[in-house]
């Protein structure tokens, strides 16, 4: 019974990391990328997202509740996993270790980011717009904190995407897994570029 529960929890953890959390991450990065066009373009995109029908319900059902389970179970996995990098040093072992490290970093970053933006809006009525992000990122410390947080989140998603396809039996041959490695690397590079360009647009 315990093994079945463990199997189910790990499958659910893997699934939620892609749908809906991974999809939301990509959507969030795309919306934020409007900052590279102009402050007005970002504000318009952000206001459109805030004006979606049933937004609060969607945020809890599609983002917060799945993210809460993924985060709690992910912390459990991170602190119970047996890493063997020092003994074997294979590429996938390093990816396994980095997946756990970036998961913890991403969790810290998301908690802080939600506090600075969504909760600030809910408690103080501070509008989430271009000027708000520009003020936050005007601090060199916060800028580099966001750089590390964004890169960690994107890596965690891209590498988790590889694990998802393997875990769910979609890519089972060594060749397909190698192709998937390059594909997920492409995902990481594209969205990291978008994320860094966005942060620079806010800060400079």
Question: What average pLDDT does the segment 42-70 reach?
Answer: 92
- Position 74 scores a pLDDT of 95
Structural domains in the chain, CATH included, are 2-203 (1.20.1300.10)
By the 8 A CB rule, do 191 and 154 touch? yes
pTM, two decimal places: 0.94
pLDDT band for position 99 (50/70/90)? very high
Find which of 49-58, 81-90, 174-183 is predicted with most confidence, using mean pLDDT: 174-183
Question: What average pLDDT does the segment 82-89 reach?
Answer: 57
The string of pLDDT tens digits covering residues 118-145 is 887 778 778 889 999 999 999 999 999 9
Question: What average pLDDT does the segment 165-191 reach?
Answer: 96
pLDDT band for position 80 (50/70/90)? confident
């Amino acid at each position: 019974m315990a093994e079945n529960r463990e199997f189910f929890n790990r499958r659910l953890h893997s699934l939620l990391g892609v749908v809906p959390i991974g999809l939301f991450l990509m959507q969030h990065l795309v919306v934020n990328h409007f900052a590279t066009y102009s402050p007005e373009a970002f504000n318009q995109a952000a206001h459109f997202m805030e004006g979606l029908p049933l937004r609060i319900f969607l945020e809890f059902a599609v983002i917060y509740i799945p993210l809460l389970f993924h985060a709690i179970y992910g912390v459990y996995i991170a602190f119970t996993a047996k890493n063997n990098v020092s003994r074997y040093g294979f590429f996938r072992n390093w990816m396994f270790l980095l997946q756990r490290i970036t998961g913890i970093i991403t969790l810290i970053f998301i908690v802080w980011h939600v506090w600075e933006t969504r909760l600030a809006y809910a408690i103080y009525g501070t509008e989430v717009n271009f000027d708000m992000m520009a003020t936050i990122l005007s601090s060199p410390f916060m800028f580099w904190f966001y750089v590390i947080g964004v890169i960690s989140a994107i890596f965690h998603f891209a590498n988790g995407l590889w694990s998802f396809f393997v875990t769910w039996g979609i890519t089972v041959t060594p060749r397909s897994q190698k192709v998937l490695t390059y594909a997920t690397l492409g995902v990481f590079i594209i969205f990291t570029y978008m994320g860094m360009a966005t942060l620079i647009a806010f800060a400079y």
